[in-house]
């Protein structure tokens, strides 16, 4: 993308409240236009990556914010780290209530569109279409988990022959139960089973890693163990890391206790175990 086009995107983001501010040191790709908004993937590439010669794994992250707000910058540091390790890493803008007046259903549709766009453009991006992970935190974790579990809620004008399902999921205190005992039913209503990940686990759900604080007031630890049990019941891998005494959002960079680094280290190990990364993690914990 040219420098001037990047500046134009930034100018539009500043003047138009219907998009999130792009991450300035990323490359920007428009993956969807919806609700009057141009939705962008903020992409970080390995320094030695040549799309014409090799196909790298990819990870796309979705920010948290209760389906109401949030910004792709939340996962910029995660993306930079993964790019330094050899992965094409992206942080997606998607529709939220404060900018587009949308509901969680549209959030899920945008998540699916992002995964599909990456797979559809894998040749140009230098991405292996069979190694695409969806990740996110809180409501963004819901979006990521929904891409791996929910059927339907696809954009009719997209090429539905190209799958919107990721090959792995990386979930930070995710909202993955939207039922009466979970989070968000007051927003989603009686249709919760349509987009509640824990209610849609089936054979073939991608391998998943989950990070959760034991003192999370939004996502009970019991829900995390229930999700893990459901996953393993259908034969899917489900790694669960509980961090004692930690609240919702503990994993974000800048929080106390080096939990950003601790969770990134485990994310790296998970990707190594899948065969997506080689060598030792480069992140260091004091």
173 within a domain of the structure (yes/no):
yes
CA nearest 243: which of 262, 271, 218, 228? 262
Task: Summarize pLDDT for 218-256 with one digit per residue, the tens.
Answer: 999 999 999 999 999 999 999 999 999 999 999 999 888
96 within a domain of the structure (yes/no):
yes
Of residues 280 and 135, which shows the higher confidence score?
Answer: 135
CATH of the domain at 66: 3.40.50.1820
- In this prediction, residue 283 carries a pLDDT of 93
73 within a domain of the structure (yes/no):
yes
Question: What is the pLDDT averaged over residues 25-54?
Answer: 95
- In this prediction, residue 285 carries a pLDDT of 87
Does the model's pTM come out above 0.75? yes
Report d(CA 268, CA 266) in Å as an integer. Answer: 5
Question: What is the pLDDT averaged over residues 10-28?
Answer: 73
pLDDT category, 9, cuts 50, 70, 90?
A: low
Pairing between β-strand 56-62 and β-strand 88-92 as defined by DSSP bridges? parallel
Question: Is there a contact between 211 and 173 (Cβ–Cβ < 8 Å)?
Answer: yes
- In this prediction, residue 8 carries a pLDDT of 52
Task: Summarize pLDDT for 175-199 with one digit per residue, the tens.
Answer: 999 998 888 888 888 899 999 999 9
18 within a domain of the structure (yes/no):
no
CA nearest 222: which of 166, 179, 286? 179
- In this prediction, residue 52 carries a pLDDT of 92
94 within a domain of the structure (yes/no):
yes
Range of the domain at 102: 23-273
DSSP 106-162: HHHHHHHHHHHHHHHTHHHHTEEEEEEEEEEETHHHHHHHHHHH------TTS-TTS
- In this prediction, residue 256 carries a pLDDT of 81
Question: What is the pLDDT averaged over residues 60-68?
Answer: 96
Out of 9-13, 100-104, 143-147, 199-203, pick the least confident: 9-13
57 within a domain of the structure (yes/no):
yes
How many structural domains does the chain have? Answer: 1
CA nearest 207: which of 170, 174, 244? 170
5 within a domain of the structure (yes/no):
no
16 within a domain of the structure (yes/no):
no
């Amino acid at each position: 993308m040219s420098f001037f086009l990047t500046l134009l995107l930034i100018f539009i983001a500043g003047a138009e409240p219907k998009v999130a501010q792009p991450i300035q040191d990323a490359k920007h790709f428009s993956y969807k236009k919806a609700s009057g908004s141009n939705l962008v993937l903020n992409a970080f590439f390995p320094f030695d990556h040549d799309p014409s010669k090799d196909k790298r794994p990819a990870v796309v992250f979705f920010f948290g914010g209760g389906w109401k707000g949030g910004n792709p910058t939340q996962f910029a540091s995660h993306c930079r780290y993964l790019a330094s390790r050899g992965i094409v890493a992206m942080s997606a803008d998607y529709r939220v209530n404060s900018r587009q007046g949308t509901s969680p259903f549209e959030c899920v549709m945008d998540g699916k569109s992002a995964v599909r766009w990456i797979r559809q453009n894998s040749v140009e991006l230098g991405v292996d279409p069979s190694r695409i992970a969806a990740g996110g935190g809180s409501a963004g974790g819901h979006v990521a988990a929904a891409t791996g579990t929910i059927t339907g809620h696809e954009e009719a004008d997209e090429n539905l022959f190209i799958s919107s399902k990721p090959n792995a999921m990386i979930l930070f205190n995710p909202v993955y139960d939207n039922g009466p005992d979970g989070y968000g039913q007051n927003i989603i209503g009686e249709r919760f089973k349509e987009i509640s990940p824990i209610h849609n686990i089936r054979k073939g759900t991608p391998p998943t890693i989950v990070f959760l604080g034991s003192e999370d007031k939004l996502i009970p630890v019991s829900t995390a163990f229930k999700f893990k049990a459901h996953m393993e019941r259908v034969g899917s891998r489900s790694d669960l890391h509980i961090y004692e005494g930690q609240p919702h959002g503990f994993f974000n960079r800048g929080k106390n206790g080096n939990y950003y680094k601790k969770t990134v280290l485990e994310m790296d190990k998970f990707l190594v175990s899948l065969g997506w990364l080689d060598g030792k993690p480069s992140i260091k914990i004091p």
